[in-house]
Structure 1
Amino acid sequence: MINVNRFFIGVISGCLLSLFLPIVPELLWLIFLLCLILICIYYRLLFFTGLCCALSLWLWQVQQHQSHTELLLHLSEPWLKGQVVSIRQQDQDFSRFLWQINEGPLQGYLVRMRWQRAPELLGQGQDWWLKVRCKAVRAPANPGSVHIEANAYVLGIIGNCVVKDGLLLNADWDHRQQLYQRLQQKIGDLPSFSLITAFTLGERPFSDELWLGLQATALGHLISISGFHIGLLFGWVYGLMLCFAKMHIQLLWCRKAAPFVALFAAWYYSLLAGFAIPTLRALLALALTVYLLQQHRRLSYSQSWLLVCGLLLFINPLWVMSISFWLTLYAVALIFLFVWSYPLSDRSDCGVIKHALKFQAVMTLLMSAPTLLFFHGIAPLALLSNLIFVPWCSLLVIPYLLIALLLELILPAEVLWHWQLADLLLSPLQQWLMAGASMDYWWLLPAQTVFSALCIALLLLALFFLPAAAPKYRMALLLLPFIFLLWPKAAHWQVHVIDVGQGTAVLLQKGDRGLLYDVGPVYGSFNATEAYVLPYLHYQGVRQLDYLVLSHADTDHTGAFAEVLKAYPGVQLIADFDTGFPQRPCLSLPAHYLDAKLWAFRSQFQTEEGNNSSCVLAIKTAGWQTLLTGDIAHSVEAELLIAQPNLKADLLLLGHHGSKSSSQLNFLSSLQPLLALNSAAANNAYGHPSAEVLGRLALLQIPLLNTADQGAVRIEMTEQQLHIWPYRQQPLPFWLQKQ
């Protein structure tokens, strides 16, 4: 077993090493790695064998993913045959779903589909011939959001496609789609319908308030079907089968069948969840457990953890990029450590309850370290929420919902009482989530590096699990890392260029207060305000938004600004066009905002609601000047220089997203910016920023940060220097930043 441990430690090390590679090596390196594997096997160097195996598998999968992506993108509006593999999400204009190609050289890969005016009968399990137009997987990148490109590698998604035409080959829905459709028609009006479908089918049609409630209460892990739910069902069914075996001698066969019946139940639950990756990982771990039980092999906790982690990464090394994968393994490691350090000695009812409460408190506290790392904040309600609702859902809600689902398959279609009871059981959770959403229960903490978060996690583990003569002192020491993190720190001015795609949204922030300049675009039923801007404000801890400046009336700047007014009722709206809300003109902005100086400009010769009517805003903070120019063209740039001949800008947001009609050479040379910023979408149809503007910037040696390449850009200003954090240069894996 020691040799197996060394091999899997090597596999884990190789997968972790892949995150830090600056580039993806050429496929020829695979030959070199295979030779190293043979040499390591010959000399029985099992650690290095596992490491090289992991790197070989990783390299092969990444190269295959990239080559198939290129093949898809170079097909000119191809007809492809495949199957719908997710329940479609419907908005006003498009149906969105996952589609698996099942024929040709791209067989087995997934694409994200958008289909305008899709047929009503479109559902999971159907086979279609589709004519598609595809783009590479690319999305705005902001801190606190999903790393879309990494997630595409994990899921095997090679493109985002739009359906141009389609031919139905097989109209039958699969079992999951039929259940979802039946529940939607039958109980879609129940208040807890979204929670019912989340627990039973893994579908989460949540409102914005419900998502905020999940973050504020730290119960997101409880709602999405994951390894916790699969393992819980396995344990319930396994225990139930053992109880049957004790009831009568003729039922002794239940003892032998228990692990297989429990594994089948876990498989069916995974099927209902659409075989999401967390459920697949849990199934593999449970299958390994059943195998070891049948072989009468007993492993230590550390051996079990290494075996599960190493085997999962050996099966798919790309799972190393999944945050949920590491959160799950971290949680499993904590469970093993707790069981090893604190075995249950008092088996009375009171003793079991105390032990369970202690376990939940320890898990909540120690899970705060990865929360700091990945989400840069802590929910103070986490401990109370988990103490109440983890037992509530584990012991009552989830078992009953699965029973209700079974009853749904047996009872007549018109019977509703079993779902009404489910709605009653979920009512406390629903009300708790909505209460959490209405209050600002989220503490933003300083952004943590991987090293600092790891140090915090190790300190928490050491303080808790090392022997201590006085437990009360130990618990007090546990709070030290959080006291350090929560200690008030000097608030500096920050400028955030939020990545909203082809549009503009800039946040000026100091502490928990801010000024927002534009809110991103609206395209059909999609709006970047709700998708990117409001989550970004919440993530950065902006609790008081004082001003919302809408530069001009174009929808790529105004977005869904009413949602900002709703989220921040005290905000003052600044706009020079009719918004339908109480507002003030651009030139009425105060000269001072906190300790910053503001200066606004609007062309006197542009009366129409066009690009040249944009409200230009100059902001001086900590000795640095930022100039936000909206969409003004060269004529207004000249007018601006006449009005302010000595105008300078350390930070310049390029006009009109880098269009060649803006950012003229004389304008740039007069402002002499230290850094140019631009907000544009990747591969946008307008060619922004234009080659002419890039040439002017290069001529004047002005560096450019473009959201299409860098993601969101955060700039912190002190009197001494500017600290710049382009988001895409921070997250792992390093090699993906080059894509």
Structure 2
Amino acid sequence: MNVNRFFIGAISGCLLSLFLPIVPALLWLIFLFSLFLLCLHYRLLALAGCCCALSLWLWQVQQHQWQSKQLLHLSEPWLQGQVVGIRQQDQDFSRFLWQIDEGPYRGYLVRLRWQEAPELLGQGQRWWLKLRCKAVRAPANPGSVYAEANAYVLGILANCLVKEALLLDPVWDHRQQLYQRLKAKIGDFSAFALITALTLGERPFSDELWLGLQATALGHLISISGFHIGLLFGWVYGLMVILSKSHALLLLCRQLAPFVALSAAWYYSLLAGFAIPTLRALVALALAVYLMQQHRRLSYSQSWLLVCGLLLLLNPLWVMSISFWLTVYAVALIFLFVWRYPLLDHNFKGRFLLAVKFQVLMTLLMSAPTLLFFHGIAPLALVSNLIFVPWCSLLVIPYLLIALLLELVLPAEMLWHWQLAELILAPLYHWLLYGAAMDYWWLLPAQTMVSALLIALLLAAAFFLPVPASKRCLALLLLPFTYLLWPKAPQWQLHLMDVGQGTALLLQKGDRGLLYDVGPVYGSFNATEAYVLPYLHYQGIRQLDYLVLSHADSDHTGAFAEVLKAYPQVKLIADFDTGFLQQPCHALPAAYLNAQLRTFRSTAARQDSNDSSCVLAVAVDGWTILLTGDISTKVEAELLTRVPELKTDLLLLGHHGSKGSSHLRFLAQVQPLVALNSAAANNAYGHPSKEVQARLSLLQIPLFNTAELGAIRLTITEQQLAIWPYRQQTLPFWLQKQ
């Protein structure tokens, strides 16, 4: 019980770190450590655990920030290190993780881009590299990875570009060799992506497969995690126990079983590149093996507290990992289920019914975090898990690992074991394609952390409390919370997406929308596929009515053809030749749903210039919105001449806040209540310019800029404009100050 209190305190301390407004100074470490020792002396174990966790957290955050700052201050340093990930290749760059193995940065990672990298670049090689580094910063949109938090979790100091290189050790490691062998041998198999995902942790999935994973809720199954590591441990341990019973000479197998199983789990983790979920599983299994050897039995609650607390003490920064909390939540549900519904009927029917009940309850109870993090649920989740969790657990994963071992001993030209693997994976592969084609995803009202936690607690209590009367009371308590999930009447929303140095804006009502620009494209990278399409899907846009391309610049047109492919019925609006069926700017209707639209385009501007931008004014529920593209002050003056009564409540600054736009006279005339701007953090153009910021300040117009705030959502009603900047809503709070 004393140890339980300590780990409860440690978990509480890590959670508390998420809500700190700033990172305390390093001197606080002395205070926290002294308080930790004092609490230990007086047996205040909960407070001691809290102080211990906060001390470790503060030390790691301060170390990460200090090392990152020092690295960024260096001008193109030469550093030694090792490639620790299989590279991802696009048209322009090779991208991979690289671990520094010298000096004060030893053990930290950097994310590298390398133009014209050697063909034989691979995991395990050691290089001496000259790097140009910049801080980790990426566009922040709901439903996407929070890059800055992820950098702390993984230990990534910076994003760097390779300038020069010297190869120190050309040898690939075991994982890279296996991947290259499989790619050359079965790279043309339809199930190749699934095979590499389940054997090596590499997921070269097509967009169709990603959609299928979301629609079927099987993402947890096609990513090597604690489930897969634990499954292999259980299989190997069980086989060793069976062997020990088959002959007296094999009794030693029983004693060796946990160690052999742990070794197999370690090898599977190695194949997965020691991804963080596999490391957490290894720690938990090593702890379980130790307790087995000590003949110690813990209750389910003690086991959960011990594993969760120990993992957070080993790395307090894992508290920022969504996958960590999904894992410990799932483990807690499994413990609750085993406690509440023990196996009493040992025949096949009893086991089958219990397995079905387990899948049903897990699917329902995992819906709460799914709502919180992914803004919806997959109606195919229950069917998918009932069929494919046992299919993969009992057949697919064991066979794929056997096939991988066969690959190491069979002649290179033999394919039969992989052809059989593709046959076994065929049902799963076609199910994913079916889910993608049908687009099964129910968008539900977004939940706060508090509402999602309440839903999870009430569902857990309703299913796991043993007293029927208590269940009836809880059922009554659940009724008010159905309001949280009940679809609300659609409201107008304006979304200024964070796409870096470009523009993408969505006007949405329910599942319909109008898209104004689609973000930038730079070389092989395009924000349309990376940010815009995932955002549309996350917001539940099923019918995109209009795609307006303001002008021909690539930071506005992006990969617009991908939007046309995703929404074949959309009407393309553009005043320059796109090569697709299109209509001019003035062809936009005067009314869209219950909004009024008005367009303007300069008659004097060249067709391919910024001043040729399609300016769009939207009036909805008594509010007005003005989208100005990249027009200059010259066209702003022309606009005021042609529409002297022009006023607006929301203004999207012209040309990303360039000093050549948003003239003082124009701002004073249109009198916006709020100015919005779309620009990249630390962009080379200095957008928004100091001049524009000074004009806005003079007129007391607040500025909301995606570079600092991430994606900006505005909910529009007749009574108010509610502004929701994404970066100001996410945990941890202290990371907002970076």
TM-score by length of 1: 0.98
Q: Aligned ranges for residues 363-374 of structure 1 at < 5 Å?
A: 363-374=362-373
Indicate conservation of the 8 Å contact 1:134/1:159, yes or no.
yes
Indicate conservation of the 8 Å contact 1:134/1:160, yes or no.
yes
SS class of match (1:488): coil
Shift in alpha-carbon separation, 1:307–1:543, aligned structure 2, 3 A: same
Deviation readout 1:80-118 (Å, 9 max, x if unpaired): 111100000000000000000111111111000000000
Match of 1:121 in 2: 120
One-letter amino acid matched to 2:379: P
Match of 1:353 in 2: 352
Match of 2:83 in 1: 84
Match of 2:556 in 1: 557
Match of 1:101 in 2: 100
SS class of match (1:600): strand
SS class of match (2:645): coil
Match of 1:71 in 2: 70
Indicate conservation of the 8 Å contact 1:548/1:572, yes or no.
yes
Over 2 Å off, 4+ runs: 467-488
SS class of match (2:103): coil
Match of 2:39 in 1: 40
Quote how far apart the aligned CAs of 1:444 are: 1.1
Looking at structure 1, the residues matched to 164 and 443 of structure 2 have their Cα atoms a distance apart, in angstroms, of 47
SS class of match (1:625): strand
Deviation readout 1:465-499 (Å, 9 max, x if unpaired): 12354999899879857853443312111100011
SS class of match (1:270): helix
SS class of match (1:96): strand
Residues 1:14 and 2:29 are matched in the alignment: no
SS class of match (1:105): helix
Looking at structure 1, the residues matched to 478 and 95 of structure 2 have their Cα atoms a distance apart, in angstroms, of 45
One-letter amino acid matched to 1:445: L
One-letter amino acid matched to 1:84: V
Indicate conservation of the 8 Å contact 1:519/1:533, yes or no.
yes
SS class of match (1:223): coil
Match of 2:465 in 1: 466
Deviation readout 1:612-657 (Å, 9 max, x if unpaired): 1100000001111010000001100100111111111100000001
Deviation readout 1:218-267 (Å, 9 max, x if unpaired): 00000110000000000000000000001100000000000000000000
Looking at structure 2, the residues matched to 477 and 41 of structure 1 have their Cα atoms a distance apart, in angstroms, of 44
Match of 1:215 in 2: 214
Residues 1:617 and 2:610 are matched in the alignment: no
Match of 2:142 in 1: 143
Indicate conservation of the 8 Å contact 2:462/2:471, yes or no.
no
Match of 2:167 in 1: 168
Looking at structure 2, the residues matched to 382 and 466 of structure 1 have their Cα atoms a distance apart, in angstroms, of 25
Deviation readout 1:249-291 (Å, 9 max, x if unpaired): 0000000000000000000000000000000000000000000
Looking at structure 2, the residues matched to 662 and 43 of structure 1 have their Cα atoms a distance apart, in angstroms, of 66
Shift in alpha-carbon separation, 1:474–1:219, aligned structure 2, 3 A: farther
Match of 1:544 in 2: 543
Structure 2 gaps of 5+ residues are: none
Quote how far apart the aligned CAs of 1:182 are: 0.3
SS class of match (1:24): coil
SS class of match (2:502): coil
SS class of match (2:82): strand
Indicate conservation of the 8 Å contact 2:658/2:689, yes or no.
yes
Looking at structure 1, the residues matched to 438 and 132 of structure 2 have their Cα atoms a distance apart, in angstroms, of 44
Shift in alpha-carbon separation, 1:404–1:521, aligned structure 2, 3 A: same
SS class of match (2:518): coil
Shift in alpha-carbon separation, 1:477–1:526, aligned structure 2, 3 A: farther
Match of 1:390 in 2: 389
SS class of match (2:493): strand
Looking at structure 2, the residues matched to 104 and 470 of structure 1 have their Cα atoms a distance apart, in angstroms, of 64
Q: Aligned ranges for residues 191-202 of structure 1 at < 5 Å?
A: 191-202=190-201
Looking at structure 1, the residues matched to 343 and 389 of structure 2 have their Cα atoms a distance apart, in angstroms, of 19
Looking at structure 1, the residues matched to 251 and 554 of structure 2 have their Cα atoms a distance apart, in angstroms, of 69
Quote how far apart the aligned CAs of 1:42 are: 1.5
Match of 1:663 in 2: 662
Match of 1:592 in 2: 591
SS class of match (1:405): helix
One-letter amino acid matched to 1:20: F
Residues 1:641 and 2:640 are matched in the alignment: yes
Looking at structure 2, the residues matched to 661 and 118 of structure 1 have their Cα atoms a distance apart, in angstroms, of 40
One-letter amino acid matched to 1:389: F
SS class of match (2:507): strand
Deviation readout 1:126-175 (Å, 9 max, x if unpaired): 00011111110000000001111101000000100010111100000000
Indicate conservation of the 8 Å contact 2:461/2:474, yes or no.
no
Residues 1:492 and 2:491 are matched in the alignment: yes
Match of 2:376 in 1: 377
Q: Aligned ranges for residues 175-574 of structure 1 at < 5 Å?
A: 175-469=174-468, 483-574=482-573
Shift in alpha-carbon separation, 1:23–1:476, aligned structure 2, 3 A: closer
Indicate conservation of the 8 Å contact 2:597/2:617, yes or no.
yes
One-letter amino acid matched to 1:133: R
Indicate conservation of the 8 Å contact 2:127/2:167, yes or no.
yes
One-letter amino acid matched to 1:320: V
One-letter amino acid matched to 1:502: Q
Deviation readout 1:521-568 (Å, 9 max, x if unpaired): 111111110110000001001110000000000110001101101111
Indicate conservation of the 8 Å contact 1:468/1:474, yes or no.
no
Looking at structure 1, the residues matched to 292 and 80 of structure 2 have their Cα atoms a distance apart, in angstroms, of 43
Shift in alpha-carbon separation, 1:528–1:32, aligned structure 2, 3 A: same
One-letter amino acid matched to 1:230: I
Structure 1 gaps of 5+ residues are: none
One-letter amino acid matched to 2:384: S
Quote how far apart the aligned CAs of 1:608 are: 2.6
Indicate conservation of the 8 Å contact 1:464/1:478, yes or no.
no
Quote how far apart the aligned CAs of 1:438 are: 1.0
Looking at structure 2, the residues matched to 405 and 133 of structure 1 have their Cα atoms a distance apart, in angstroms, of 39
Match of 2:727 in 1: 728
Q: Aligned ranges for residues 571-586 of structure 1 at < 5 Å?
A: 571-586=570-585
Looking at structure 2, the residues matched to 306 and 491 of structure 1 have their Cα atoms a distance apart, in angstroms, of 43
Aligned length: 738
One-letter amino acid matched to 2:697: A
Looking at structure 2, the residues matched to 621 and 567 of structure 1 have their Cα atoms a distance apart, in angstroms, of 27
Looking at structure 2, the residues matched to 222 and 727 of structure 1 have their Cα atoms a distance apart, in angstroms, of 30
SS class of match (1:581): coil
Please report the RMSD computed on the Cα atoms of aligned residues, expressed in angstroms: 1.4
Looking at structure 2, the residues matched to 192 and 466 of structure 1 have their Cα atoms a distance apart, in angstroms, of 43
SS class of match (1:161): strand
Looking at structure 2, the residues matched to 534 and 200 of structure 1 have their Cα atoms a distance apart, in angstroms, of 29
SS class of match (1:737): helix
TM-score by length of 2: 0.99
